[in-house]
Structure 1
Amino acid sequence: MTQEIRYGKLIGASLGPGDPELITRRAWDVLQSGARWVYPVKKAEQASYALAIVERSGLRIPADAVELVFPMTRDADALAKAWARAAQQTVELLATGRDVVFLVEGDASTFATFGHLARVVREQAPSIAVETIPGVSSFTAAAATAGLPLAEEDETLAVIPTAYGIGVIDHMLDEFDTLILLKVKPLLDDVIELLERRGLLATSCFIEKVGSPEERIVRDLASLKGETVNYLSLLLVKNPKRQRGELRRGCRRRQEREAAAHA
């Protein structure tokens, strides 16, 4: 008779975008719970941004912490093999019965590696329990640092990767009061030119590696033209000129009943 494997729990611990003081109490406790640490790297034995956040917190990195390689490539076959290998490593660690905590920069539910890793792990071993610890995202930290509210009262907010292209960004500027553009590095010059045409340079802000020792805030966006910025950068774009439609307030059913009564 085959003995059933008692897996540990897979935990995605959000660490915030760079400042260790933004690590939540729940994540802090899990990091010191005895769970096995795993952390992402782009190449084997390369520095991990997520691990660096914890190092700045003063916590000692366990000797048995394990790196998982997630290469920066568009090669579908290479990516599939890397994900399968990382998931298999994680399942093997969980099969010891010990919990595994995956270190996540920013928030684990927002444009993060953890969600996909958890899905692939569950495909290999459906009985594995998964916990996601929420945290501070890069754009909420950036807005606070820059002193720019993301949305007030009835304002609208959208968050998109810049890779969707200038056409989509141009359209969304008409649909949202605040637009967060993530990973702006490849199209930064094109975006700056678009904002210049739209008259939105003065109400936009560039933030790079927010919360880290290398944090940089640039309000003069035109000065960034031609510069190669860090991958971990974003733009907060406020569009105070946006035309809004009429809002429907209150209870719709009540309004419909009142309209019918006066008909």
Structure 2
Amino acid sequence: MSETVQAKGTLYGVSLGPGDPGLITRRGWALLERRDAVWTYPVRSLRKDSYALDIALRAGLQPPEQHQSLLFPMTHDAEKLARHWLKAAETVRAMLAQGQDVLFLVEGDASTYASFGYLARVLRELEPEARIEIVAGVNSFNAACAQLQMPLSEQDDTIAIVPAAYGIAAVERMLEDFDTLVLMKVKPLLDDLIDLLERRGLLAHSRFVEKAGSPVERVVHDVASLRGSKVNYLSLLLVRNPGRVRGELQRGCRKKDAAGTGPADDVNEQEESDV
């Protein structure tokens, strides 16, 4: 008789939003209520708790009997990172092989600067046929804009979402090309960024948000007041750039048709953006 082959489990990247449990999607909530799936969640060191797990706990959700942290250290050492990513992927692979579904809890959105991307990539290298599903979530900058009642984009605005670690020179170049800059993980370069924004006359159009949506959320309108202060790793700057020189298509103007006599018959010009 042939042996029964056990079906392998699925890895889910469950996005929890940036901090407010109310921003967990219905899909994410339904998965987290399952008692037959394993919870995993990232920690930056063995001495620190998981921020993603904290969001779920503050939502009143209880971990299943089997749950486990996975170490994703804060380092730029490529060899060390690769070693820990591999260990995490091997841990998840073993659970999936036993037929268990694995939920990987992610603050924010699992597809945006998230540890889940590394885990999924290495798992696929180990197990090309691995079943992986990403549950979309609310990004920190979306939550920050909502809190500030500040549009992320309007009409034909351009947006750049970049880690501030790209450097001051790169950020300054982007000010020539984008109407809104979302600068993530600004902690290491905050003072330099403040100097740049002051020089470009953009401090009045900038806002700082730390741990958006969490009980310890901090919103700072006077960004210059942050000079010399310590901020959390989970912090960002939203910069609106009203003085940017635009190309042929100006804010509030409509494209003309080929004859130059009227608005183009372009459905994208008729609809509001829902990005």
TM-score (norm 1): 0.92
How many pairs were matched up? 255
Structure 1 SS opposite 2:258: helix
Structure-2 residue corresponding to 1:172: 174
Shift in Å at residue 41 of structure 1?
A: 0.5
Shift in Å at residue 44 of structure 1?
A: 2.3
Shift in Å at residue 6 of structure 1?
A: 2.5
Q: 2:227 aligns with which of 219, 225, 228?
A: 225
Distance 2:3 2:129 in 1: 16
- How high is the sequence identity, in percent, across the aligned residues? 56
Structure-2 residue corresponding to 1:106: 108
Shift in Å at residue 73 of structure 1?
A: 1.2
Structure 2 SS opposite 1:72: coil
Confirm whether residue 42 of structure 1 aligns to residue 70 of structure 2.
no
Shift in Å at residue 77 of structure 1?
A: 1.6
Structure-2 residue corresponding to 1:157: 159
Structure-2 residue corresponding to 1:209: 211
Structure 2 SS opposite 1:229: coil
Structure-1 residue corresponding to 2:200: 198
Distance 2:7 2:77 in 1: 35
Structure-2 residue corresponding to 1:32: 33
> How far does the alpha carbon of each residue in 1:66-106 deviate from its partner, in whole angstroms, 9 at most, with x for none?
11011111222211110110000000011110111100100
Two-structure CA RMSD over aligned residues (Å): 1.8
Distance 1:111 1:124 in 2: 22
Shift in Å at residue 42 of structure 1?
A: 1.1
| Contact 2:37–2:64 (8 Å) recurs in 1 | no
Structure-1 residue corresponding to 2:242: 240
Distance 2:166 2:5 in 1: 46
Gaps of 5+ in 1: 259-263
| Contact 2:249–2:255 (8 Å) recurs in 1 | no
Gaps of 5+ in 2: 262-275
Distance 2:7 2:124 in 1: 14
> How far does the alpha carbon of each residue in 1:200-259 deviate from its partner, in whole angstroms, 9 at most, with x for none?
1001000000011110000111110001110000000001111100139669xx738x9x
Structure-1 residue corresponding to 2:7: 6
Shift in Å at residue 5 of structure 1?
A: 5.2
Distance 2:183 2:255 in 1: 33
TM-score (norm 2): 0.88
Larger fraction in helix: 1
Amino acid at match of 1:255: A
| Contact 2:39–2:66 (8 Å) recurs in 1 | yes
Amino acid at match of 1:197: R
Confirm whether residue 118 of structure 1 aligns to residue 120 of structure 2.
yes
